[in-house]
Amino acid sequence: MASILIKDTTREQREQIVRESLGDEYDVGCGYESTGINYQLYIDGIKELRELNMEANCGFEVAHPEERKSGCNMI
């Protein structure tokens, strides 16, 4: 598997990575709401996928803060 890091990909490749990962539920520029993760930040080269997933797992990007997981190990 090739690297999916921002430094190793172009914007177009990142769009394709997200599109392939989410399938029909994702439309570049919108549609990420159903996942609770703003993948546009990855596409724009702002945050790595790992960072976005860690934030979502820790509850930073959830619609309902009361559902945040306790004991998050995010550094």
pTM of the predicted model as reported, rounded to 2 decimal places: 0.67
How far apart, in whole angstroms, are the C-alpha atoms of residue 3 and residue 71?
Answer: 30
pLDDT in tens, 12-62: 999 999 888 887 655 555 555 566 788 999 999 999 999 998 887 775 544
Nearest to 42 by CA among 62, 16, 72: 16
How far apart, in whole angstroms, are the C-alpha atoms of residue 32 and residue 26?
Answer: 6
